[in-house]
Chain A
């Protein structure tokens, strides 16, 4: 197992590096550069050129690439052009927020997705099943951006139940730790709801399909014939087997949740990695874009690796290596 993981990790290094190199060139093909930000009314026209010189953007592209390469190989991803901080300092400020969002979101997805999927499967063909199926498809196809705005209008503006933005209330610093955490959770209800809703719907459909397939298997019929209660048949025999392929989704969900957080962080004014990525692209902040790509690329590789490893663990028929 260890040598398998090691081989996969080593194999991922050139892959991530290739992605970074592509990003380096692609982002420079987009019109504008980081210095364009300084071409605005009220700003001296000389500034853009001076900054271009300082950022090294006047060098030929290939020189810029080799300079960048030299720095990357030493582990130096550079400083953000727009924030004037080392890029990893920028990202480190945002990572805990996005990771918490993603972890809570993924937990919600799995709890509710599996639960609804199982209910839908054992109640197959009933009104409840049809309602859950239609609702799941409806929610799954709803754009997150639109859903977020609708929820803000309903729950913040009309009902006043939840705040529409930011991580804490004004004056939250003066609250006790417990109250502070509750205040934080209160602010996270809407973003997490949106972040996990699509996943819950998708997962519920997936679990339902798996469950229906498993329920038809001979060993389930045998279990029932043995006189086991329906609960034990469903949750001990059927669900365990139906969950095998679901585990692989866990790995794939991680990067998807990070990219989903992108919209949610912008709409709900949450200072996470998604917002950093969006702002870095708009500001043509090359070092920050590349560092973000590095993080996302690594997550995708690790997510896939995690899925494969988990698959190997939960299904003894699969041998890794």
Chain B
């Protein structure tokens, strides 16, 4: 019996030893593949490869590798404006009344099966984007398109595609709008990615989401083409030698590996098993900068912010019958301002972000949008003494137990943070301590992410530490809209009709410079009202293995110009066309 065990043991040990040593033996084939393969990593898998229905960042990244744009957007950091360059469209003109745009498409762009990409593909795709059964995440892009009329001649909610999108020939594509639309919004809203009509035309809307084509986009048209998708493991694309808008991707193969666990992914970056890692924590970025010379740390600023949400409205009253009443603790701006001034944000900036991976925030308009950003507004100072005065002015008095109270209401609340939000976990105890010094009792509770989001959305949380990312075009409605049923991210329940008005006014202006004063006025109102306590513009920290050449992470994506990237390990002859 012992012998049998020993034999089995030996066999297993030999097997594993060989498995470990084989690394060298396999080098010739596997490392050749690695030399010409860019290995990216993501924590979650793509949802699908269809631009019409994809609604995840991972999906968007994959789609941008294999599908073309009518134009290519670049972000001008000097002005903070999106600039559109020719891509499938070689030129375009906007009508003088700002109610129409005409694109002249190149006639030489082809799908990977050789079929020409024409204006009809775009029109077909927009019809799918607007189909309510398909329920595209980007259906709002069609908001201003010409709509069908009711019997009285008033526009309905349904796009009249026969009038809204015209295709007089294969290379001319015209979009028509019901009313004048700002130039930048026209360009933005007509930049949706097309899919091949000849492949998809027979798929019914009701079967669109379950089509196998979503997982196997064999016909595409991008600098790379789809090779394979092993769900929850990786997907691979290879350079598309026939792409001419403007050229095929330079790296022969790109593999995106799915590694859900942060530490595992970080280890893989350090060992060189992956080339790019997004979302590195500041503490790890600092260490990498010191200890890993083979890794470049790059940051992208001003796309996401963190804030301390203090409900402006009474959560209980809102739950009971959607009544809007001031919150018993945070209902006045004086109290919210006092809390803002009681928190030593510089301390958090130095402690968690090491003074370099975030900046103090003044308002939710990104400083990246320089044309709209109000630089006259300065962050709230750290001034606990003034904070105490403000609370006293607002009627808060220290009770017998050392906790503030007003009209018999104790200043005691729970601050909620989301599970896994490391910045929130760091900030919460510091905020708790700062508030304790004012006589405010703050408890901390961690909630599972979905529960956290859902309760915030339903206005069930008195206070929470949140994070949000900003869109590439400013829109205050989702975050500050007074209609709480529609404003999905106005968890503070901030209601200000002037802000609604400013949002509409700014968006109605045809030129950015005309809209800027309205955005700046909003920022002043925000600063005065303190709807929530702005914390930081956190930087997106990305690690690149130094063998990657040409990376250019910006506010649009960490994979900007991916088609132009190369690898220092690529043999010269591998370089594609």
Across-interface contacts of B20 in A (CB, < 8 A): 161-162, 186, 189
Across-interface contacts of B16 in A (CB, < 8 A): 185, 189
Across-interface contacts of B454 in A (CB, < 8 A): 31-32, 36
Question: B561 at interface (Cβ–Cβ under 8 A)?
Answer: no
Question: A43 at interface (Cβ–Cβ under 8 A)?
Answer: yes
B539 to chain A, nearest CB (A): 18
> Which of these binds chain A: B133-141, B174-182, B370-378, B545-553?
B133-141
| CB atoms of B19 and A271 under 8 A apart | no
| CB atoms of A47 and B135 under 8 A apart | yes
A267 to B453, CA, bound (A): 25
Residue of A nearest to B16 (CB): A189
A39 to B136, CA, bound (A): 13
Question: B85 at interface (Cβ–Cβ under 8 A)?
Answer: no
| CB atoms of B137 and A267 under 8 A apart | no
Question: B323 at interface (Cβ–Cβ under 8 A)?
Answer: no
Across-interface contacts of A82 in B (CB, < 8 A): 47
Q: How many A-B pairs fall under 8 Å by CB?
A: 184
Residue of A nearest to B29 (CB): A174
Question: B203 at interface (Cβ–Cβ under 8 A)?
Answer: no
Interface string of A42-66 (1 = CB under 8 A from B): 1111110011001000000000000
Question: A175 at interface (Cβ–Cβ under 8 A)?
Answer: yes
Q: A39-B457, A186-B23 are in contact. Are A268 and B264 (CB under 8 A)?
A: yes
| CB atoms of B1 and A166 under 8 A apart | no
Across-interface contacts of B209 in A (CB, < 8 A): 84
Question: B9 at interface (Cβ–Cβ under 8 A)?
Answer: yes
Residue of A30, A93, A115, A179 near B22 (CB, 8 A) is: A179
Question: A208 at interface (Cβ–Cβ under 8 A)?
Answer: no
Question: A149 at interface (Cβ–Cβ under 8 A)?
Answer: yes
| CB atoms of A40 and B19 under 8 A apart | no
| CB atoms of A166 and B30 under 8 A apart | no
Within 8 A of A (CB), among B1-45: 1-2, 5, 8-9, 12, 15-16, 18-20, 22-23, 25-26, 29-34, 37, 39, 44
Residue of B8, B30, B265 near A171 (CB, 8 A) is: B30
B50 to chain A, nearest CB (A): 10
Residue of B nearest to A157 (CB): B267
Instruction: Please classify how large the interface on chain A is, using the bins under 10, 10 to 19, 20 to 34, 35 or more.
Output: 35 or more
Question: A216 at interface (Cβ–Cβ under 8 A)?
Answer: no
| CB atoms of A271 and B231 under 8 A apart | yes
Across-interface contacts of B264 in A (CB, < 8 A): 149, 152, 164-165, 267-269
| CB atoms of A236 and B1 under 8 A apart | yes
Across-interface contacts of B99 in A (CB, < 8 A): none
Question: A205 at interface (Cβ–Cβ under 8 A)?
Answer: no
Interface string of A71-115 (1 = CB under 8 A from B): 000000001001111000000011000000000000000010011
Residue of B33, B44, B210 near A170 (CB, 8 A) is: B33
A38 to B53, CA, bound (A): 11
A148 to B1, CA, bound (A): 33
Question: B233 at interface (Cβ–Cβ under 8 A)?
Answer: yes
Q: A160-B271, A174-B29, A175-B30 are in contact. Are A42 and B137 (CB under 8 A)?
A: yes
| CB atoms of B37 and A170 under 8 A apart | yes
Within 8 A of B (CB), among A239-282: 239, 266-269, 271, 275-276, 279, 282
Question: A153 at interface (Cβ–Cβ under 8 A)?
Answer: yes
A195 to chain B, nearest CB (A): 15
| CB atoms of A171 and B37 under 8 A apart | yes
Question: A183 at interface (Cβ–Cβ under 8 A)?
Answer: yes
Within 8 A of A (CB), among B187-211: 209-210
Residue of B nearest to A156 (CB): B267
Residue of A30, A44, A170 near B30 (CB, 8 A) is: A170
A71 to B505, CA, bound (A): 52
Question: B307 at interface (Cβ–Cβ under 8 A)?
Answer: no
A31 to B12, CA, bound (A): 47
Interface string of A273-297 (1 = CB under 8 A from B): 0011001001010000000000000
A45 to B34, CA, bound (A): 42
> Which of these binds chain A: B243-251, B255-263, B382-390, B512-520?
B255-263
Across-interface contacts of A169 in B (CB, < 8 A): 26, 30, 34
Within 8 A of B (CB), among A14-47: 30-32, 36-47
Question: B347 at interface (Cβ–Cβ under 8 A)?
Answer: no
Question: B273 at interface (Cβ–Cβ under 8 A)?
Answer: yes
A189 to B21, CA, bound (A): 13
Residue of B8, B261, B471 near A269 (CB, 8 A) is: B261
B548 to chain A, nearest CB (A): 15
Question: B489 at interface (Cβ–Cβ under 8 A)?
Answer: yes
| CB atoms of B231 and A231 under 8 A apart | no
A-B pairs with lowest CB-CB distance, top 7:
A171-B33, A271-B232, A50-B135, A235-B1, A31-B454, A32-B450, A43-B137
8 sampled A-B residue pairs with Cβ under 8 A: A38-B55, A42-B137, A45-B140, A94-B232, A164-B271, A171-B29, A174-B33, A183-B26
Measuring CB to CB, which residues of chain A are less than 8 angstroms from any residue of chain B? Answer: 30-32, 36-47, 50-51, 54, 79, 82-85, 93-94, 111, 114-115, 149, 152-153, 156-157, 160-167, 169-172, 174-175, 179, 182-183, 185-186, 189, 231, 235-236, 239, 266-269, 271, 275-276, 279, 282, 284
New A-B pairs, 11, CB < 8 Å, besides A32-B454, A84-B210, A269-B264: A42-B469, A79-B210, A94-B232, A111-B8, A111-B9, A165-B264, A170-B37, A175-B30, A189-B16, A275-B232, A279-B44
